Amino acid sequence: MFSLQGKIAIVTGASQGIGEAIAKVLALQGAQVIAVARNEVKLKQTVTMIQHEGGLAEYLVGDISQTEEDKTNRGRRDSKTWCRSLPHQ
């Protein structure tokens, strides 16, 4: 396949499903994986499995679906907030 030695990969949704699979593959290819998800128990399991197979991984519990501003607006986004969160080109 290919080598990701010396690279860092931040994988969201890494506690299950596609995110977990991506985290494992990236680690097996040599990347240091930072696994991010809301479920700490499942994240620990994913990271432990990666480390057991010789990969480098750490985890960070977090919810990237909302910004702090979204939370103060009770999850509602107005058009100005949405536009500010879009990547600039």
Q: How far, CA to CA in Å, does 82 sit from each of 64, 68, 70, 71, 74? A: 14, 13, 10, 13, 14
* Number of neighbours of residue 89 by Cβ within 10 angstroms: 3
**Does residue 3 fall inside a structural domain?**
no
Q: What is the pLDDT of residues 28-79, one digit of tens each?
A: 999 999 999 999 999 999 999 999 999 999 999 988 876 666 666 655 555 4
Q: What is the pLDDT of residue 71?
A: 62
**pTM for this predicted structure:** 0.73
- The domain total for the chain is 1
Domain holding 65, by residue range, is 8-85
Is the pLDDT at 23 greater than 80, yes or no? yes
C-alpha to C-alpha distance for 36 and 34, rounded to whole angstroms: 6
CATH number, position 14: 3.40.50.720
Is the pLDDT at 4 greater than 50, yes or no? yes
Q: What is the pLDDT of residue 12?
A: 93
Q: How far, CA to CA in Å, does 52 sit from each of 2, 15, 45, 87, 88? A: 21, 16, 10, 37, 40
